[in-house]
Amino acid sequence: MTREIPKNLLVTGGCGFIGSNFVRYWTEQHPDSKVVVYDKLTYAGRRENLNDLWDNANLSLVVADIGDMDAARKACQDNGIDLIVNFAAETHVDQSILGPLVFTDTNVRGTHVLLEVARELGIRLHHISTDEVYGHIRDDHQSVETDELAPRSPYAASKAAADQLVQAYAITYGIPVTITRGANNVGPYQYPEKAVPLFSTNAILGEPLPVYGDGRQMRDYAHVYDHCTGIEAVLLRGNIGEVYNVGTGREMTNLEMVDIVLDTLSKDHSLVKHVTDRPGHDRRYSMNVDKLRALGWEPRYDPKQAVAEAAKWYEGNRWWWEPIRSGEFREYYDRQYAERLAGIQQ
Ligand code: NAD
Ligand code: TYD
């Protein structure tokens, strides 16, 4: 059964990577529904991700923190919101190792505030989660939605805590919620701290690609387009109260991902540099996505195509990432990689 298209959506984190791709996808598919992007505009939130859409009369932006209850309540009341889709989060594992507290502020407390607003105003909330909440997965298993959560980084722990609050609110207060747990996404507008855009832009610039440890960690690199169609399937046809995994169900090693990036960009493989590993680095993520498939969803891209398409996007869109890389990102890059690339053991 397909339910009615929500009329007025509050998309938190809509200026980030996945949020902006979702806003573009949703406004194309459902032009009559109104979208309010609610975003704090952290370093990862960028108005220009939606430059082509701001003229659309059905799209507006509220710049505010999801942890600000008054601002969130007002945005919902002023716009007759009937669905909150919560993408807003601190999202990078390496940043969570360098400075973890903001991850709890936004990912845990911020989600909690949105749940309170949803409860008070009787609004459905869809929460965007991650496969990282399952922890790293042994070779013969694929995570299913009922698996225990076993997060291993501050980022993953904050996302797992948020999932549990969402589920607790559904049980305790009966508020209508759904959760999707996405695999590693790749595609346009991903901030270049993440592996695929970092490696693509480094390769284009002729800089070394810092591969953590042996590079044999496994990830399901899924195209962000398929994440958007998966979320749409759950919004329109998912069972209230349920969790759905969203990925391709197929993984590759980071070394395989790097090969695709370099081959797509016709760059030399000597750019690869193995560097000191990330502390607590999860070896493997892998999800079973049959539950989402049962809603009639299928991914359009396999992981190899997804990585190649992403690398091509960075090749064709230097206007987007060059200003980022020459700005405050530089400071983070040096902090994260200078010693690693100099070969100094950490
Ligand atoms: P991103 O870092 O690109 O964007 C995050 C967005 O949230 C930004 O626009 C930022 O300004 C906004 N934001 C951060 N803190 C905020 C706050 N306190 N109040 C309001 N807005 C705030 O992230 P992304 O990669 O697009 O991830 C979006 C969601 O998807 C996150 O919840 C993340 O955990 C989840 N997820 C991401 C991936 C991935 O591969 N990137 C995979 C699975 C799940
Ligand atoms: P990332 O994009 O940070 O996603 P996540 O850690 O959430 O999976 O990293 C993807 C993989 O690439 C992960 O195994 C860590 C690895 N990686 C590197 O080897 N080098 C890097 O510089 C980065 C950022 C990641």
Q: Give the residue whose CA is nearest to atom 24 of ligand 2.
A: 195
What is the pLDDT, as a whole number, of residue 110? 99
Average pLDDT for 55-76: 98
8-190+223-251+281-303 topology per CATH: Rossmann fold (3.40.50)
Average pLDDT for 1-9: 89
* 195 CA → ligand 2 middle, Å: 5
Residue whose CB lies within 8 A of the most ligand 2 atoms, among 153, 186, 211, for a mutation test:
211
* Ligand minimally distant from the alpha carbon of residue 219: 2
- The answer to whether 114 touches 66, Cβ cutoff 8 Å, is yes
Please state whether the predicted TM-score (pTM) of the whole model is above 0.85: yes
Query: In the chain, at which residue ranges do the beta strands (DSSP E only) sit?
Result: 8-12, 34-39, 59-63, 83-86, 124-130, 177-182, 185-186, 209-212, 218-219, 222-223, 243-246, 252-253, 272-275
Mean pLDDT (the chain, rounded): 97
What is the pLDDT, as a whole number, of residue 327? 84
Average pLDDT for 174-180: 98
Taking 80 as the threshold, does the pLDDT of residue 345 lie above it? no
For residue 3, what are its two tokens?
């339910």
Average pLDDT for 83-109: 98
Average pLDDT for 239-255: 97
What is the pLDDT, as a whole number, of residue 2? 84
Cα 38 to chain centroid distance, Å, stands at 16
> Cα torsion at 230, 233, 238, 242 (round to 10°)?
10
What is the pLDDT, as a whole number, of residue 3? 86
